[in-house]
Structure formats: structure tokens, C-alpha cells
Structure 1
Amino acid sequence: MAAPALLPLLLLLLTLALSSCGGAAAASGAPVGEDYVRPPARPRGGQRKALLGLFPWSKKKASASASDPQQVHISLSGEKHMRITWVTDDNSVPSVVEYGTTSNTYTSSSNGESTSYSYLMYSSGKIHHVVIGPLEDNTIYYYRCGGRGSEFQLKTPPSQFPLSLAVVGDLGQTSWTTSTLNHIKQCEYDMLLLPGDLSYADYMQHLWDTFGELVEPLASTRPWMVTQGNHEKERIPFLKSGFQSYNARWKMPYEESGSTSNLYYSFEVAGVHVIMLGSYTDYDESSDQYAWLKADLANIDRKRTPWLVVLLHVPWYNSNWAHQGEGDSMMSAMEPLLHAAHVDIIISGHVHAYERTERVYKGGINPCGAVHITIGDGGNREGLARSTITRNPSGRCSGKRALGTAS
């Protein structure tokens, strides 16, 4: 466990070894510790500003130069390719990225696409998406967006083990979020996984802009692979369909993985096949997501990717009173598919606490089941989920009500 003087940083050491069931070995056990006492509240970041007079239709203040790239973040886009996403206030800026392996020397360039959206009285900036590559593995690249502005630097993931994945859920944008991001910055990691609830904008669209600015120092250097949570829905009946902002700003490699929706997709990195599922889109046996998942699982080569990891927002195994039972119907529909495929780890957020199970299936311990990990409080404004149903329910290996990340 983390030093008491620091924000708790929950480290989940995922040992890359094969188990007898054809998957990877579970994380080593840890006893249930004492309850974590949260220190006094700190001032909130961008969300505090929202409560002090900015309204959902407010547009954020323009940058010093409307042409400069803002809110830069990167994500995988198929094998050996990376998607660069950024926003400009100037609609005339081209969607182009120049890049190379030497600072200020760009030997390649790629053109892409752009989009924008309106939400009530808010209008987004120009959102650029450019895919660059093919790129070398485990290599530092320097890049510039839109032909001007600051130079950024990224590092591509390795092609084989060892691989380090940072995991954080339910981030938000408070001073606790900043502390969490600072801890992540101190770690050596290749990619960040986020199982939903990014900005906590909740209809206040300018908070997507402040979130993009907040995470840019990290998200512009390592790929951030995300899935949606309930705070991304932003649906207004008869006026707005859900996930408009999320889909415009955080485009993931769904097309590259054969999906028809940005809400669920898969990708491979080193020896890991990662599946991102959508808790807030249809998932029953007649749904597109179910059909896609079944096909995706059937095409996995476990010799190429011996680890199989799934992320979704709502946990299926949850000993906390918070959000109790919300994942039951999705688990009923999809757990048999994942069990048959020998999924190793299922990571979720939503519940603002840390919890890890033994290998479980259909509500009980099973040596060939998946380890379920809830990592649901990256620092968001809602605080911790403190009440558990029982002290140590069957299958629960470790739990803690604390802020933090995993790696």
C-alpha cells in the first residue's frame, strides 16, 4: 500500500505468466486493510468554476492563438498506428500532423479529418483526428499539429513483454484528480486505460474543454484508451442523442476492430488483447454489441496475445451498496461468452472504491474464472463509496475505499 503521506496509489501488479486455464495468472492476493479516512476536501478544479456561474451553454475563453493546438491526446489506431486528436478555435487550421524521431525535424506527415458539434447554445472548436504511421515499436516520436504551435512528444508501446498499463477510473477534474495524474506521471507506463467517466461534464460542455487541457500533459505522450460511463451519456430526450460529445472528442479504434460503434471496440498491444465494452448501449444476445463481441473473441489468437483483458464501466461483482446490482443484466448476457474465452481480468469503474476478487464465475469462486477489479475513484467530485454489504463477501480478495490508480 502507498505511503500514508501520499495520495493512496493502489498498485495492482499483473504478473505476465500463463495459468492452467490457458490465460494469465491472477494478481497476488492482499488482505483487506483498514478503512481509508479521506483528508479534508480540497478546492475543486474546473468543476468548481462551473458551480460559480458558468452555464452549460458557455463557451470557454479562446486561447492566446486561435490556431494553436489545444487538448491534445493520442490513442492507438490499428497496428503500428496512432491517432492524434486536438482542438482549435480557428476553423481554417488544417488537419495535418508532422512527425519524426528527431526534435524539430519532421520526416513524415499525415492528413486527417475534423468534426465539430453544437449542444444547446454551446459550439465546440474544430476537433481534429489524424492517424499517423506506420510507427516503430517502443520509440519516441516528436510531432506538431496543424503546422504550427508547440512540439509534442509521444512514445509508442513495445511489441512484446514487459508491458506496463496504467489504469484509472472516474477521473473528473478536481484537485484530487490532479494529485492522481501527478502520481501517474511519476510511473513508468506504456499506455493508460480508463473504464469510463472521464470529464464529469454532465451537459456542461465547457468542462470537456477544461478536461482536455487538464489531461493533455499525459494524454499527449502515451495512448489513452477509454470507454464510456454514465457521465458521458448527456442525452436530452427529444433533443439530443447520447454520447455526442464523447464520440466527437474521444474517437477510439472501433472501425479498425470491426465494430460499428465508438462505444465498444478492441485492440492489441504487445501480448495483450484488450476489449472495451459499453455498459450503456444494448448488450443482450440480439444486440450488435453481443454479435461483435462473439466474433471478436472467436478471432483471438492466444499464442499471439496470451493475456485477455476486458474493461467496462459498471462492475459485475460489487460488494458495495453503491450501484448495487446495476451490472447484473449485462453480466447475465455476456459473462458466459467471456468465461468460454478464458478472459483473465475484467476491470471496471463506477463504484468509487477499490475492490479485487478471486477468480470467479456465476457468483462463485472458479479456478478458470476472471479476476474482477474495480478501480473507480480517480478523484472525481462525488467522493468515495464507503458502505460494503459484508466485510469480506465470498470471492472478494481485497478492497479499500481510497483514491488512486493501478498499474
Structure 2
Amino acid sequence: MEPKLVLALFLLISATATSEYTRPPTRKTLDFSRPSKSSSHPQQVHISLAGDKHMRVSWVTDDKSAASMVEYGTSPGRYSNIALGESTWYSYLFYSSGKIHHTVIGPLEDNTVYYYRCGGGGPEYKLKTPPAQFPVTFAVAGDLGQTGWTQSTLDHIEQCKYDVHLLPGDLSYADYMQHLWDTFGELVEPLASARPWMVTQGNHERESIPFLKDGFESYNSRWKMPFEESGSSSNLYYSFEVAGAHIIMLGSYTDYYEYSDQYNWLEADLAKVDRNKTPWLLVLFHVPWYNSNEAHQNEGDKMMEAMEPLLYAASVDIVLAGHVHAYERTERVNNGKLDPCGAVHITIGDGGNREGLARKYKNPQPAWSVFREASFGHGELKLANSTHAYWSWHRNDDDEPVRSDQVWITSLVNSECVAEKKHGMRKILMGP
């Protein structure tokens, strides 16, 4: 079968497999006309955390001979350090990527501004490392895409004084059209080159073609996360720590059943969490487990059945998900019921995708659902100290300082839940 016919077939299958609900009109896809640049010019620059006191700088060049080198220092134009990294590239049907560079820099001082340059030339960039202690603020927005709503979300986030961006899947919405990965990289570069973006995969990152292409090749090539640093064998799930929080990024679209590689890694990772060092325990993945929207109902049930007991036994505080193009926040919940020792689940898959909002909710509203709204926007999570966090939800229709939903969340770290469940966690990890 011709490659074009294969691509058309799978795009059709993908389109017909989506949930049946009426999507409202959306803002147009952005125009990405750009002046031509030299082949060695760094493009799509973004940074991510890469282990204790280290950052990974990623970028693309058209020049396949360009060096994977980053010069950096604490003063503009003065680079006291040089780091060399690795590079990769991939082909996808009729598309060939540029040279994709990944270079780890560090050790870096906490809460410090660094100036850096990629490949020995091009513009100077500026980043700020996260703080080592509370308070720390996370911006959260999933299902971004590349529309006018995406730009509005990014504009709002830019006004937020955040330290790390958390993205629970569905980045570029390239959906097989590989040039859209390039335009997405250019779109988010102003923010993603200045603060670490920690991402996990969604369904729009799959891009698999049976017998021709495995899934997630584009995503894994471009958005390398600290999976090796966290003992994972896959870029689709990993963990990291920042300023008193242990954050676990899971994969909704890789095996999660008991005894799978991801399940075994999650068990081991949770067993290593020190709540004295990181009193907050957060988890992100794409498909929500608690969802009262009519869109994507029950899609997360199997993963929840397999993994929720692990998260519950570990006293996870907050779970963040995307996929559903609307906002929803729950009470603490476990096994479908209100539970003071369960996690707060927040769905925030409404960063600006081209598919529009999911406006239809199920009624009556479940007891565990506190606030739900079909709007584009972003969330902000400020961990004020070891016991209290402030969550706020910001609609794009409002100014960024306006909070449509807000709540103080108390960590489970000093609660009876942790003491009661320590034995349960040991039993899950070690057996009867």
C-alpha cells in the first residue's frame, strides 16, 4: 500500500475513534510564517530538569554538522562553562527532521538566572532554575495545540510567576504532520527556553503506523525527559524532584497492568519517596480517572484499576490529567468514593487545542466533583510550605489574575492517612 494511502487511512481511523460530542467553533490555527535563518541557527529551544541541579537544553538545527554544545554562565555574554551533549534525528514517511540536540548542563545553583547559547552561536537565552525550598509554583496546562486559544494560554502563563511548567500530554497536535512539531517548538520557545517544561505523552503523540512506524518516535526524539535519571527504561514515564515535591509522570498509552515495566517502575519509585524530604507527592498522566464530562468516559478505568491502589497506599496528594477538553476538580477520592486519604484529581486538558471544548457534563454531578467548567485556560499550583498548597484555575476569557476556581489543599504528609497506609504500601510492594 502506498504511504500516502496508509497515512490517510489512519487519519480516518483516528478521526472516527473520537468520543461523540458536538465541538463548538474554535479559534484558527496560528500562522507560522517565519523569516529564513541560517542552517546552524538554534530553533525550538526548550529546557527540562535532568536530575539534581542539572538541566537538559534541547534544540534543533537544519545543519546536521552543528555541535551539540551549550555555553552558559551567570552573566550576559560571559560563559564560564561549556557542556557537550548528544543528538538524534528521525524520518517519518516523506519528512526528515533536523538535527535534534540534547545537552545536560550543571551542576547549577538553585533559584539562579543563567544565560546560555546553543551550538556556539545564535541568540543568547536566559533561564531560571527552580528554588530548593518552598514556596515553589507550577504552571499547568495540557492539550495545548497551536491555535489562537493556545497563544492566549501561553500569554496568561507568561504573566504567572512560575518555576516549572507541567504538561499532562497532547503537545503539538501534529497528528502525523511532522512539520507541526517544528512550528509547535517555535511557538513555545519563548516560555520553554526560560523555565523547565516537564511533559508526558498523550494520544496525539502516538503517531504509529502498523508495519511502518512505532508510536511516539517524534515525541521521544524531541522531548527527552529525565527517565534515565529516575531509573526508568522509557521516556514515557519518569519522576523528578523539585523544592519539596516528588512528581511522577506516567504513561496512559504504554503498558500499565500489574507486572508491566511501568507498573514495576512505579512500585520501585514510590518505595524510594522520602516524605521528610519531599512532603508533597504529585502524579501526572493524560487520561483522567475521575471525569464527569461526557467526553472520553471510562477511558482511564483500566489504568485506574491497576495503579490507583499504588497511589492510594503511597498517599499521593494531587493527580493532574488532561485529555478531556474542559476543567474539573474533585474532592479527595479513591475507588470512586469520597475518601479523606485519597488524592485530589484535577483535569486540565483545555490549553487551546484545535478540537474545541467538551461542553457536555453528566448529571447529576457526582459527589466527588467539586467544580467543572468548559473553558480554555491554565492552572497554577503554589506549594506554600510542607503542608499547604494553593491551587487556582484561570480562564483565558478573564485577565490572568482572575481566578475562576481556587482552593487551599492540605498535604497528607502529617495526616493519619500516611501512618495508616505505610503498612498497606509495604504489603503491596512486598506481598503478604
Does TM, scored on the shorter chain, surpass 0.5? Answer: yes
Relative to the length of structure 1, the TM-score reads 0.86
Cα deviation code 1:135-189 (max 9, x no counterpart):
0000000000000000000000000100000000100000110010000001100
Instruction: Name the CA distance, whole Å, in 2 between partners of 1:391 and 1:302.
Output: 37
Q: Does 1:198 align with 2:171?
A: yes
1:40 shift after superposition: 6.5
Q: Identical aligned pairs, as a percentage? A: 72
Corresponding residue to 2:262 among 277, 289, 292: 289
| Partner-residue secondary structure (3-state), 1:294 | helix
Cα deviation code 1:254-294 (max 9, x no counterpart):
00000000000000000000000000000000200000000
Which amino acid in structure 2 is aligned with residue 390 of structure 1? N
1:45 shift after superposition: 1.1
* Aligned 8 A contact 2:329 2:347 in 1: yes
Cα deviation code 1:220-267 (max 9, x no counterpart):
000000000000000000000000000000000000000000000000
Q: Does 1:175 align with 2:160?
A: no
1:308 shift after superposition: 0.2
Corresponding residue to 1:135 among 101, 104, 108: 108
Q: Does 1:82 align with 2:55?
A: yes
Q: Does 1:400 align with 2:400?
A: no
Corresponding residue to 2:211 among 235, 238, 243: 238
1:42 shift after superposition: 3.0
Aligned to 1:300: 273
Instruction: Name the CA distance, whole Å, in 1 between partners of 2:273 and 2:134.
Output: 18
Cα deviation code 1:311-363 (max 9, x no counterpart):
00000001011000000000000000000000000000000000000000000
* Aligned 8 A contact 1:115 1:248 in 2: yes
1:63 shift after superposition: 3.7
Question: How many correspondences in the alignment?
Answer: 358
| Partner-residue secondary structure (3-state), 1:296 | helix
Aligned to 2:27: 42
Corresponding residue to 1:165 among 130, 133, 138: 138
Which amino acid in structure 1 is aligned with residue 247 of structure 2? V
Which amino acid in structure 2 is aligned with residue 140 of structure 1? V
* Aligned 8 A contact 2:26 2:355 in 1: no
Aligned to 1:345: 318
Q: 1:75 to 1:229 in 2, by over 3 A?
A: same
Q: 1:230 to 1:40 in 2, by over 3 A?
A: closer
Aligned to 2:7: none
Aligned to 2:195: 222
Instruction: Name the CA distance, whole Å, in 2 between partners of 1:275 and 1:252.
Output: 12
Which amino acid in structure 1 is aligned with residue 30 of structure 2? G
1:64 shift after superposition: 1.5
Aligned to 1:357: 330
Aligned to 1:35: none
Q: 1:39 to 1:288 in 2, by over 3 A?
A: closer
| Partner-residue secondary structure (3-state), 2:143 | coil
Which amino acid in structure 1 is aligned with residue 87 of structure 2? S
* Aligned 8 A contact 2:71 2:116 in 1: yes
Aligned to 1:326: 299
Aligned to 1:213: 186
Which amino acid in structure 2 is aligned with residue 226 of structure 1? V
Which amino acid in structure 1 is aligned with residue 157 of structure 2? I
| Partner-residue secondary structure (3-state), 1:406 | strand
Which amino acid in structure 2 is aligned with residue 142 of structure 1? Y
| Partner-residue secondary structure (3-state), 1:253 | coil
| Partner-residue secondary structure (3-state), 1:105 | coil
Which amino acid in structure 1 is aligned with residue 29 of structure 2? R
Corresponding residue to 2:227 among 248, 254, 275: 254
* Aligned 8 A contact 1:98 1:144 in 2: yes
| Partner-residue secondary structure (3-state), 1:218 | helix
Instruction: Name the CA distance, whole Å, in 2 between partners of 1:397 and 1:340.
Output: 24
Instruction: Name the CA distance, whole Å, in 1 between partners of 2:34 and 2:93.
Output: 18
| Partner-residue secondary structure (3-state), 1:351 | coil
Aligned to 1:383: 356
Which amino acid in structure 2 is aligned with residue 363 of structure 1? G
1:389 shift after superposition: 1.2
Q: Which runs of 5+ in 2 are unaligned?
A: 1-22, 381-432
Aligned to 2:399: none
| Partner-residue secondary structure (3-state), 1:127 | strand
Corresponding residue to 1:156 among 122, 129, 143: 129
Which amino acid in structure 2 is aligned with residue 153 of structure 1? K
* Aligned 8 A contact 2:140 2:165 in 1: yes
Aligned to 1:368: 341
Which amino acid in structure 1 is aligned with residue 268 of structure 2? A
| Partner-residue secondary structure (3-state), 1:295 | helix
Instruction: Name the CA distance, whole Å, in 1 between partners of 2:86 and 2:364.
Output: 52
| Partner-residue secondary structure (3-state), 2:378 | coil
Which amino acid in structure 1 is aligned with residue 357 of structure 2? L
Which amino acid in structure 2 is aligned with residue 102 of structure 1? S
Aligned to 1:126: 99
* Aligned 8 A contact 1:62 1:89 in 2: no
* Aligned 8 A contact 1:70 1:88 in 2: yes
Q: Which runs of 5+ in 1 are unaligned?
A: 1-37, 50-59
